[in-house]
Amino acid sequence: MENHNRLSKNNAAMFNGFEESGMHSRATSVKQPAQTTTNVSQFCQSGSGLAGNSMGSLGCDLSRNFGGGMAVAPVMSFTNGYNKWTTNSDEAESAEVTEIDGGVMEGGGQILRIAVALCSILHKPISISRIRANRTNPGLRPQHMTGMQLVRDICSGQLTGDQVGAQHVTFIPGMVQGGTFLADTGTAGAVSLLLQVALPCLMFTPGTSHLTLRGGTNAEMAPQVDYTTNVLRPILEAFGVKMDCKISMRGYFPRGGGEITVQTSPVRQLRAVDLTNFGTIKRITGRAFVAGVIPFKIAQQMAKSATSVLWRTYREVPINIQAIQEPKNAVIGNGTGIIVVAETTTGCRLAGSSLGRKGIQAEQVGADAAEMLLRNLSFGCCVDEYLQDQLIIFMALAAGRSRMKTGPITLHTQTAMHIAQMMTSAQFSVVQASPPSTESYIIECEGVGHRNPHF
């Protein structure tokens, strides 16, 4: 999520969702032409996927082979949202294996996270090849491997090929069970991405689960843990997700060492949501922090700059961005950054953030976060560009039709819809919102209504 280059207000260099910590490949956002409805099975372009500022040609099937890798095999069907396999991994071993091209579309770690989570929830064995093929250092990195191993432990599955650098893995799931789990990347890999892969699984366990996740809490190219707690968690509550997240220790690049503890409670079935009513902005809050040897005045400068940028547009909205010096006994390493969050009268939350980096003035870091938020607010949408792809798996699993209004559809979101639709019977479509000049869209999904087999 972090902005390493100044983002212009015309969205000329919009990022496409969150990416793995340490990655620097960012495809541009894809905008749709003025049209009515596009089914996601056509929301793509052959070759290396969609890029640029137009949709390009439509009409290709998402089940086809992208980018010259392994073609996607047909997936198992299931009825009324129930698992076909509900006992143990022996049955899963005899099931048809769904083959997934890990280089399809955005070709990064998100494919792994969604595929592995759905594999364990729906009890569908998968084989993933060309893992992270679109990255400069393809193959599994420690955080991806750790996330897959965490899900393996949650469902007592069989995971082969889980080694750093591996470009092919096979996962045969067992039954999802609650419990106490520990996952440690051993690096500054983002703990928020470990939670992304595990959280959907924990919604379908028999009881309460406890996670301890270790790594980077405020990592580049990944959601800051503050985004997870202040934006993602409140929105997921509308689906029925029950999660409590506490930050025990903050850890920064390159050492990592941060730790969060998460407690979840299962649900019988996720609810469909309608996130299309923006309302009006109630308040804007924020957190500008410094840690380690970074002087406190840096946090103050970031907060002041962000407040000034936001106030120019929203003079009537209360703005409260706090400058914070992290306690020395609660951090590992040195770090600085900022997150600003707008909350609306209908409960929508949109954010902008940035991390401090060498050679960039604190005032610029604060302005970058503010401008990111302003860009998302300019679309009049309920979901920002970094939340839209994270909600796809919950929309696919929920009972009924979910809708969310967002800005230009990112390549990460297109990829998430592709994997979710491939592994479930959920159907996605993209409808241009009115007026079309706002570049806003409504993503709709008829979820499968998956039910917790333990209830």
CA distances (Å), origin 178, targets 181, 204, 317, 372: 9, 9, 43, 38
Considering only CA atoms, which of 439, 445, 442, 308 is closest in space to residue 377? Answer: 439
How far apart CA 159 and CA 274 sit, in angstroms, is 36
Query: With the CA atoms of 175, 179, 185 and 188 taken in that order, what torsion angle do they form, in degrees rounded to the nearest 10?
Result: 120
Going from the C-alpha of 278 to that of each of 2, 78, 87, 270, 287, the distances in angstroms are: 25, 36, 43, 22, 23
Contact 56, 62 (CB under 8 A): no
Catalytic member of 412, 418, 450, 454: 412
Q: Give the amino acid at 212.
A: T
CB atoms within 10 A of CB 232: 24
State how far the Cα of 3 lies from the Cα of 352, in Å rounded to an integer: 9
CA distance 431 to 348: 20
> Angle CA(45)–CA(389)–CA(215) in degrees, nearest 5?
125
Q: What is the CA radius of gyration of the chain?
A: 21
> Could you count the other beta carbons within 10 Å of the beta carbon of residue 249?
14
What's the one-letter identity of residue 188? A
Q: Distance between alpha carbon 431 and the CA centroid of its chain, in Å?
A: 21
In our burial notation (b when 16+ CB lie closer than 10 A, e otherwise), range 328-344 reads eeebbbebbbbbbbbbb
418 is catalytic: no
**Count of positions (residues) in the chain:** 455
Q: Among all residues, which ones are annotated catalytic?
A: 412
